[in-house]
Amino acid sequence: MKKLLFFLSTMVLCFSSGLFAIEEITRKINSGDTAWVLISTALVMLMTPGLAFFYGGMVRKKNILSILMQCFTMIALISIHWVLLGYSLSFSNGNKFLGSLNWLGLMNIGLGSGPYSDTIPHLIFVMFQGMFAIITPALMIGTFIERMKYKFFILFSLLWATFIYAPVCHWVWAKDGWLASLGALDFAGGTVVHINAGFSALAIAILLGQRKNTTLGPTPHNLTYTLLGTALLWFGWFGFNAGSALAANSLAANAFLVTNTAAAAAAISWIIVEWIFSGKPTTLGMATGAVAGLVAITPASGFVDVIGSIIIGALVSPICFFMISFVKNIFKYDDSLDVFGVHGIGGVVGALLTGIFANPAINEAGKGMLFGNPGQFGIQLISVISVIAYSFIGTIIIFKLLNLFIRARVTDKEEAIGLDLTEHNERAYTLVD
Amino acid sequence: MKLIIAIIQPHMLENVKKELYSRDVNLLSVSEVIGHGRQKGINEMYRGHKETGNMLRKIRLEIAVNDNFVKPTVDAILQGARTGEIGDGKIFILPLEECIRIRTGETGKEAIG
């Protein structure tokens, strides 16, 4: 009997001390902040399927499944890569340029808060950032549509996530990253996500060559999908930008406001520019403008006020339109769905304008040229140029090396038949019921 | 026996059907086709890039008739599909060698009506 009592009391003690331990590590965690970042993570997750439909509507109907397949594959692939390797390389303490392997497989992370926020569990920060790591390489799918081998796509994506995304993410967002130490402002991924994906996409477009039998523009088979995808992207972007505050606070509210405002301004300015230069306002143009606005406001969303966001949105569309409609035709690179033209250029516009319009009244961490700190523009310029150089050259190296072992491009015959049938043995739309 | 093929504007289909029914022509096949006439359609623009797929949507009617029904059918299509604008379409009349009703195996005149 005594033995039994002893055993029971020990059990109770163990149990309560266990509870106490969990209470200790979660003491500072704030339920409001945690709830918002949980929701934001789910919002950002939805952007990649949204992107699948945004892109899917813009390809010929013999290739839509290949786009959906690649986007969803990216979710699966990078989700695993991220928790095993990507997060550790990106965010753990290492050197200025790359993280260490301390958090390999999320070892040593635990249930408490982490170094990037006291008020949310470290694990949800891992997940939130994981969604960014997924959508960044997924953005590049738009440049190599209708002609890349699926096997090459998988291997390239894994190499890119390891050797391009992780280092750039570390430079900009890790505690000890060199661009972070320099004071470069990138609230939600203008450099890490959009410039990185955009200039890598340009490199791929050049290396892979043009699609056969088509113009350099998109060849949409179902623009209703594209507009549906735009809606999902716009919706998810609230998590992308406002979630990057990592808290349910005024900074998140400001990011939410300027995100929506910039997207609206850019949609309007694209319609105007297109009306003047192409003759008619188009749904595809409006959707493209909205996305360009969302791209440009991404680095700025935690720093600029609402007037700054209207100016950023209004400026980005004419610049992207010019790149897509004129510059692309001069140099003849088949950046098929304008990943470079919208995300690369939009990201550069956003990152540089952040250095001008960052208002210390919104966030004391950022003071732009207009508020008496011209040096910030120079820092932004350094971050933009270094990310462009690294991702462009790095992508060329990865692509060329991988291409030594396996083929990157489908045969001309496969391209003519379409990737849905030749790569996946499926058809999206059947002729007979 | 003749096979009458007509290419008409999609929005005139209901009109043409009404005119055909009023003349006792009750059997027809309809399909959607794309193409263009002398004005070469409308150019599509995607992000400032002109697409060459300048095809317009049209409706193609196929009606097999006995000789005494050729004139009423043509009249019905002219009446129903004409707007007087460019793009109203065309009617083609072809000789028809044979017609067989699958259900009964009837041939020729009986099979058409």
Query: Which residues of B fall within a CB distance of 8 Å from A278?
Result: 45, 48
A410, pLDDT greater than 80: yes
Q: What is the pLDDT of residue A1?
A: 53
For residue A295, the surrounding DSSP H or E stretch is helix A283-297
The pLDDT tens digits for A188-216 are: 999 999 999 999 999 999 999 999 988 89
- Which among B46, B50, B52 has CB closest to A284? B46
- Which among A219, A280, A326 has CB closest to B45? A280
Q: What is the pLDDT of residue A23?
A: 62
Round to whole Å and give the CA distance between A66 and A210: 18
* Predicted complex ipTM: 0.73
Question: Strand, helix or coil at A98?
Answer: coil
At position A405, the amino acid (one-letter code) is: F
Region A401-422: what's the mean pLDDT? 96
B52, pLDDT greater than 80: no
Helices A283-297 & A250-278, crossing angle to 10 degrees? Answer: 140
B49:A217 CB<8 A = yes
Q: What is the residue extent of each domain of chain B?
A: 2-38+50-112
A218:B50 CB<8 A = no
Query: Which residues of A fall within a CB distance of 8 Å from B45?
Result: 278-280, 282
Query: Which residues of A fall within a CB distance of 8 Å from B51?
Result: 215, 217, 219
CATH class of the domain defined by B2-38+50-112: alpha beta
CA atoms within 13 A on the CB side of A5: 2
B46:A338 CB<8 A = no
Round to whole Å and give the CA distance between A154 and B46: 29
Give the contacts of A201 (CB within 8 A, at least 6 positions apart).
Answer: A139, A140, A142, A143, A144, A335, A339, A340, A343, A344
Q: What is the residue extent of each domain of chain A?
A: 28-424
A218:B47 CB<8 A = yes
Average pLDDT, chain A: 94
Percent of chain A that is helix, strand, coil (3-state, to 5): 70, 0, 25
Size of interface A-B (CB pairs under 8 A): 39
- Which among A215, A279, A288 has CB closest to B49? A215
Measured between CB atoms, does A338 come within 8 Å of chain B? Answer: yes
Q: What is the pLDDT of residue A5?
A: 59
The pLDDT tens digits for A173-193 are: 999 999 999 999 999 999 999
* B49: DSSP letter: E
Beta strands in A192-319 (DSSP E): none
The pLDDT tens digits for A210-269 are: 999 888 989 999 999 999 999 999 999 999 999 999 999 999 999 999 999 999 999 999
- Which among A279, A280, A284 has CB closest to B47? A284
A278:B52 CB<8 A = no
Region A4-21: what's the mean pLDDT? 54
| pLDDT band, very low/low/confident/very high, at A25 (cuts 50, 70, 90) | low
The pLDDT tens digits for A313-348 are: 999 999 999 999 999 999 999 999 999 999 999 999
Q: What is the CATH number of domain A28-424?
A: 1.10.3430.10
Region A81-90: what's the mean pLDDT? 98
Is residue B105 within 8 Å of B74, Cβ to Cβ? Answer: no
Structure tokens, A26: 């979660």
| pLDDT band, very low/low/confident/very high, at A24 (cuts 50, 70, 90) | low
